Amino acid sequence: MVALAEKAVRQKTSRFQFILDRPTVLGPLFVSPAILYVFALVGLPFLLAIYYSVSAYTIYSQSYRFVGLRNFIDIVQNPIFLQTLVNTFIFTFGSQIIGLILGKFGALLLLRPFPGRKLVRGLIILPWAVPVALATVAWQWMFDSLYSVINWTLIAMGLLTRADAPNWLGNPHLAMLCVIIINGWRFFPFAIVIFLAGITAIPQDVLDAATVDGAGFWRRNYQIILPMIAPIVVVGLVFGIVFTFTDLSIVYLLTNGGPVNATSVLGFEGFQVGIVSGDVAHGAAISLFMLPVLFVLTIVMLRAIRRQEI
Amino acid sequence: MAAISTRDITKEFGGVAAVNGISLSVPDGEFMVLLGPSGCGKTTFLRIIAGLEKQTGGDVIIGGDVVNDIPPRARGIAMMFQSYGLYPHYKVRDNIAFPLRTQRVPRAEIEKKVDWASQLLGIDHLLDRRPRQLSGGERQRVALARALVREPTVLLLDEPLSNLDAKLRASARNEIKQFQQRVGTTTVYVTHDQVEAMGMGDRIAVIDHGRIRQVGSPAAIYDDPADRFVATFVGTPPMNLLACNGGHLGFRPENLLPRDMIEESEVTEFSFHVERAEYLGSERIVYGRVDGFESTQEITAKLPPAHVAQESIRPGEAHDFAVRNSALCHFDEHGNRVRRH
């Protein structure tokens, strides 16, 4: 005991020797790489984009001259931009609706036990996991004007004749439908995961109570399950909308915005104007146009779930 | 109101029998408790009565009709769950109204019935709250109100008190029992808690490994157990068992008394070595062993009030104890009760 007590008397040490034991020092130290990373790769480009959007910068005349909101006024007066804006909304909400419907039904099917369910649950992730370029090329062949496997099947079944087979990517409306379908197809595994997570988190007692209380399949789904998983679904939907609203890969790979801008979306248009054409200032203005839209949308949805919170 | 009976109900999950041939009949208006250790199949059996689980074999009969192929909503039952199963996104009012809405009861009627049920259970001031804003006891009442609002013919309760604290549980026990007597609904109540079973049941069915071991009044279950399982499952501390002639000799701790306290002559005497004692306020429980018998467990004796205050029996001592012969139970080598007259 005596020996222990003597050992406990420490020599005087520097007040900085245990500095890493303080949460107020160690915490910020650990978080700082992440903050620096986000600042360098997201914050700086974002500030730069804001600056570009109020300057007259093009790659041919690299002037940082401040022009105020001139660029924004220009693009709003451009009918192509307005069509792009409308396209973006149609593209985003169309593909989200397809994704949600497929996700809900897929989740309900995958909740039932059947042989090979684990395998199917794994494989269903593929559309989401496959590189978008690969998937889009595959879809491109399916929608091809000559070799479309969809048209071929419909003709073989006698539902169509060669003459009135649709030109999927050539018709403006059908082309928009195609990009929506592909994006919905890419999004639905994510929706399935979200729905599965939500539904499996509902206590069995609640579902049993609803069954005993006389609720059939539809009532259980729409009055019990959906309201209870609404918060998690809305969070998933916010993610889906943000990613789709800013996406340009499918449009770029499949239709290149065509035919005649029918499938051009904000991200694609910003890329075309700012990078391909070199008009960085207008490109930045187009891209930044997404920001307030997404901001308002996200706030509205997150407020909606807070009010709904259980 | 309706009587329930089951005929040889079996239920297998992947080849394992959870319910192994239960035939039980509950007369109209009875409070029947299904008592058993966890995993004995009592909840599965209740869910089969409710129709939430489809039995592998056997019949469920409610009010004289075989209801095997009738869905839960058409069986005229109401059920209350262990964690209540309240709908978290609905207010209390809508929770209680839900079973009526599914039956398309007119709006005015719903309002009247919700008022009736909530007043009956004293929760009419909570109608505009959500379940998460309620305490455990309040939630339990809301669940009961929801179960009763459509005036079921049969009420099924699955461990409804296990989420309450000890004090609340005692008063809720009393409330449910009084309530059931007032309404007179045939009730099946599942629990693993023998105090609940003894205190509430008109009759108790003791279940183990998917089979009924004994059905009877609380007194019959306690004083006259049908086999070794019932004898040791019911009672705290459980019945003492001594190996004897290949079978077992059993007696309750409160029947093992100091020799001088028994005046009758028909007794069996034991020399009891006290090893430790527990003072529990109203009683004193002593643990030890008896000479000449083998036992896998410690022998316990619950000392009567006269011996509680004065510490006349201390650890380390040996005393003469005895049990009235009428209080002895004999079990054969399979654990079945052997009646000796």
Task: Give the model confidence (pLDDT) of B30-71 as tens digits.
Answer: 999 999 998 899 999 999 999 999 999 999 999 888 999 999
Q: Which residues of B touch A206 (CB under 8 A)?
A: 85-88
**Residues of chain B above pLDDT 70, percent:** 97
Q: What pLDDT is attached to residue A302?
A: 79
pLDDT in tens, B5-21: 999 999 998 888 899 99
Q: What pLDDT is attached to residue A7?
A: 55
Task: Reply yes or no on whether the pLDDT at B295 is more than 80.
Answer: no
Question: Cβ of A215 and B73 within 8 Å?
Answer: yes
Question: Cβ of B85 and A208 within 8 Å?
Answer: yes
Contact A294, A245 (CB under 8 A): yes
Contact B214, B227 (CB under 8 A): yes
Decide if A117 touches B, using CB distance below 8 A.
no
> What Å distances lie between residue A2 and A7, B294, B307, CA to CA?
9, 52, 49
- pLDDT (tens, 9 = 90+) of chain A, 310 residues, equals 445 555 555 566 777 778 888 888 888 999 999 999 999 999 999 898 888 888 888 888 877 788 888 888 888 888 888 899 899 999 999 999 999 999 999 998 988 888 988 898 888 888 888 888 898 888 988 888 778 888 888 888 888 777 777 888 888 888 899 999 999 998 899 999 999 999 999 999 999 999 999 888 899 999 999 999 988 888 888 888 888 888 888 889 888 877 888 888 888 988 988 888 888 888 888 888 888 888 888 888 778 777 665 5
Contact pairs from chain A to chain B, CB under 8 Å: 65
- Rounded-to-integer distance, Cα B37 and Cα B191, Å: 8
Question: Cβ of B85 and A211 within 8 Å?
Answer: no
Decide if A310 touches B, using CB distance below 8 A.
yes
Q: Which residues of B touch A213 (CB under 8 A)?
A: 73, 98-99, 102, 146
Task: Reply yes or no on whether the pLDDT at B341 is more than 80.
Answer: no
List all residues of chain A from 134 to 173 with a beta carbon under 8 Å from chain B: none
Contact A280, A53 (CB under 8 A): no
Mean pLDDT of chain B, nearest integer: 88
Q: Which residues of B touch A308 (CB under 8 A)?
A: 89
Q: Is the peptide bond before B237 cis (omega within 30 degrees of 0)?
A: yes
| DSSP category for residue B15 | T
pLDDT in tens, B218-243: 999 999 999 999 999 998 888 998 88
Contact A231, A305 (CB under 8 A): yes
Query: What global pTM score does this model have?
Result: 0.78
Q: Which residues of A touch B81 (CB under 8 A)?
A: 205, 208-209
Question: Cβ of B89 and A227 within 8 Å?
Answer: yes
Q: What pLDDT is attached to residue A1?
A: 45
For the residues B136-142, what does the mean pLDDT come to? 89
Q: What pLDDT is attached to residue B340?
A: 66
Closest partner CB to A212 (pick from B78, B82, B87)? B78
Nearest CA to CA, how far is A291 from chain B (Å)? 33
Which of A114-123, A288-297, B177-186, B199-208 is predicted most confidently? B199-208
pLDDT in tens, B102-117: 988 899 999 999 998 8
Model confidence band, residue B311 (pLDDT cutoffs 50, 70, 90): low
- Rounded-to-integer distance, Cα A17 and Cα B90, Å: 56
The alpha-helical segments, DSSP class H, found in chain B are 42-50, 92-102, 107-120, 136-148, 166-183, 194-200, 218-223, 228-233, 305-309
Amino acid at A112: R
Q: Which residues of A touch B84 (CB under 8 A)?
A: 205, 209
- Rounded-to-integer distance, Cα A88 and Cα A92, Å: 6
Q: Helix B92-102 crosses helix B107-120 at what angle (to 10 degrees)?
A: 130
In this prediction, the answer to ipTM > 0.95 reads no
Contact A99, A191 (CB under 8 A): yes
Model confidence band, residue B307 (pLDDT cutoffs 50, 70, 90): low
